[in-house]
């Protein structure tokens, strides 16, 4: 394994300034569990040269004119004077780890911006009513749309929080969409929309997936977890309902993720109750966790649980501000998430990271509470740590998997280069993401998706939404 060739901690920007996818009908004929994609680009050997490289490794820092050597999906070397395989000229570009997203209801992206301005047309009634009409193909179309948007905007890992698993086929559809896109992901198998809080979720889908996961995992790019309802939804859920679900996830050895303490008016002592019920641990991710007390943060730290927060949706829906600084002070693993495009519209992760930084500064009434680089860490190495995959991705380091992106500042919205970290956080949009690499496969290059047909993705999603609206006879 090659060492980092030369370390450069300069944070300036002198170098920068100087310079179809299977159709739904064919999909239905594919044997259940078969997720290999013949259309994913091959892994190879290449070196990105002459780029501004942000490793997101504090020991390595940045390289103002650096290179990244990739072979068979692995980062071989990072630094200067690196070569090997095809040369990709990164002159004028910023290279950094791909963004790590930690909680996204990808199955409902098809309802983008459908959460309305009236109580009866809010987010929860919308996804519940439409969600109950969704077929497996609808799930596929929505998750494929999400995955395409993720790759296009620089995400290389997503957490598909699928709480509309109406059958094993619905779960398989979500997994197949992720697999065909070539993205790294976790599928957290949840319950179906409309399930009464008095009834435990059917465990057959998740047990089928767990038993046969090797055939679903797309050569290890995909992992499995449980999306758990927890002890509260609209109101308390009885132990005889939630406990069997939790116990089954533990029996299957799966990570567990749960919405908790989202807003003060509906989150009193929720984390404390989880703690006292012995329902927290290193295998548990707490989603939102806005309404937590200092004592509850101590409980989270003690148990080793992680947190995912989504400033975009949390502010949009009125939950409040996520206590990111307090969580970081406890060294609790924390990642940032999209949550749901049905509520927020945009799935630009850079925008969400900027909002996380801005929210922290607003709470502190200080321009300097959180730095731009710290916010980018939340979207890369910290997010990977929160998902338990920091040994694989989240930074550019020899031995890690090659999940990285190339950003081109050669655009009106990024043309004047100052500090790269500030520029990336504050100005980057999907249109500035030139190239995306996942596990050594180039999935976007020159601004174009290579494994997905954009027109087909859009048409499939629009057709699916039209069918759902017709069946729901609403909106």
Q: In 3D, which of 460, 377, 382, 369 has the Cα closest to residue 424?
A: 377
Average pLDDT over residues 202-213: 98
User: Would you say residue 213 lies in a domain?
Assistant: yes
Average pLDDT, stretch 197-214? 98
With tokens 């017709």, the residue in question is 470
Instruction: Note whether 440 and 316 are same-domain residues.
Output: no
Specify if 6 maps to a domain. Answer: no
* 4 domain-assigned: no
410 and 319 part of one domain: no
Question: How many domains are there within the chain?
Answer: 2
Number of other residues whose CB lies within 10 A of the CB of residue 219: 13
**Last residue of one domain, picked from the residues 386, 412, 434:** 386
Distance CA 159, CA 222 (A): 10
Do 37 and 111 fall into the same domain? no
User: Please, what's the b/e burial string for 310-347 (b: 16 or more CB within 10 A of its CB; e: otherwise)?
Assistant: bbbbbebbebbebbbeebbeeebbbbbbbbbbbbbebb
Instruction: Indicate if 75 and 157 belong to the same structural domain.
Output: no
User: 269 in a domain, yes or no?
Assistant: yes
pLDDT score, position 265: 67
Q: Is residue 465 part of a domain?
A: no
pLDDT digits (tens, 9 = 90+) for 7-23: 333 333 344 444 332 33
Residue 235: what pLDDT? Answer: 86
Mean pLDDT of 55-60: 96
Structure tokens, 246: 């939790």
Q: Are residues 345 and 218 in the same domain?
A: yes
Q: What is the mean pLDDT of residues 274-293?
A: 97
Q: Domain for residue 1, yes or no?
A: no
- Note whether residue 187 is domain-resident: yes
Do 433 and 296 lie in one domain? The reply is: no
Domain that holds residue 19: 14-97+396-456
Question: For residue 247, is it within any domain?
Answer: yes
Q: Which among 266, 273, 438, 426 has a CA at the least distance from the CA of 358?
A: 426
pTM: 0.92
Express as a percent the part of the chain with pLDDT over 70. Answer: 91
Are 251 and 105 part of one and the same domain?
yes
**Quick one: which of 28, 70, 77, 22 has its CA closest to 46?**
70
Q: Please check whether residue 316 is in contact with residue 344, taking contact to mean a CB–CB distance below 8 angstroms.
A: yes
Cβ-contact 355, 315 below 8 angstroms = yes
Query: 79-114: per-residue pLDDT in tens?
Result: 998 999 999 999 999 999 999 999 999 999 999 999
CATH of the domain at 450: 2.30.40.10
CB burial of 9-33 (b: ≥16 within 10 Å; e: otherwise) equals: eeeebebbeebebbebeebeeeeeb
State how beta strands 334-336 and 306-309 pair.
parallel
**CATH number of the domain that residue 172 is part of:** 3.20.20.140
């Amino acid at each position: 394994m090659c060492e980092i060739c030369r370390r450069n901690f300069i944070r300036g920007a002198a170098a920068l300034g100087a310079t179809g996818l299977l159709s739904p009908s064919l999909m239905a004929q594919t044997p259940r569990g078969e997720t290999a994609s013949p259309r994913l680009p091959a892994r190879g050997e290449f070196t990105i040269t002459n780029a501004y490289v942000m490793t997101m490794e504090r020991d390595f820092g940045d390289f103002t004119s650096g290179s990244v050597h990739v072979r068979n999906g692995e980062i071989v070397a990072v630094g200067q004077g690196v070569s090997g395989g095809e040369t990709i000229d990164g002159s004028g570009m910023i290279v950094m780890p791909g963004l790590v997203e930690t909680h996204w209801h990808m199955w409902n992206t098809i309802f983008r911006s459908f959460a309305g301005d009236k109580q009866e047309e809010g987010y929860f009634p919308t996804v519940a009513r439409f969600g109950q009409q969704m077929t497996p193909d609808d799930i596929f179309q929505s998750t494929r749309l999400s995955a395409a948007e993720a790759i296009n905007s620089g995400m290389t890992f997503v957490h598909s929080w699928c709480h509309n698993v109406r059958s094993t086929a619905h779960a398989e559809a979500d997994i197949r969409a992720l697999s065909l896109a070539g993205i790294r992901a976790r599928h957290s198998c949840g319950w179906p929309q409309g399930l009464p809080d008095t009834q435990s979720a059917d465990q057959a889908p998740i047990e089928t997936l767990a038993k046969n996961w090797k055939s679903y995992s797309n050569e290890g790019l995909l992992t499995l977890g449980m999306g758990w309802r927890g002890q509260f939804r609209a109101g308390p859920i009885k132990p005889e309902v939630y406990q069997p679900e939790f116990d089954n996830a533990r029996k299957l050895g799966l990570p567990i993720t749960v919405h908790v303490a989202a807003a003060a008016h509906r989150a009193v002592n929720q984390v404390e109750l989880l703690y006292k019920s012995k329902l927290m641990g290193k295998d548990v991710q707490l989603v939102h966790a806005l309404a937590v007390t200092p004592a509850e943060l101590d409980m989270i730290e003690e148990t080793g649980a992680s947190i995912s927060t989504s400033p975009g949706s949390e502010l949009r829906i009125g939950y409040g501000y996520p206590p990111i600084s307090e969580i970081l002070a406890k060294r609790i693993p924390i990642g940032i998430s999209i949550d749901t495009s049905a509520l927020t519209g945009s799935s630009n992760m850079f925008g969400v990271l900027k909002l996380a930084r801005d929210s922290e500064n607003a709470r502190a009434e200080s321009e300097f509470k959180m730095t731009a680089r710290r916010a980018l860490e939340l979207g890369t190495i910290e997010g990977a740590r929160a998902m338990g995959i920091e040994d694989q991705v989240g930074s550019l380091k020899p031995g890690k998997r090659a999940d990285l992106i190339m950003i081109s500042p050669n655009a009106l919205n990024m043309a004047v280069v100052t500090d790269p970290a500030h520029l990336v956080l504050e100005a980057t949009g999907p249109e500035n993401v030139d190239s995306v690499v996942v596990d050594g496969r180039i999935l976007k290059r020159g601004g174009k998706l290579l494994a997905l047909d954009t027109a087909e993705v859009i048409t499939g999603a629009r057709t699916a939404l039209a069918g759902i609206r017709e069946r729901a006879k609403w909106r």
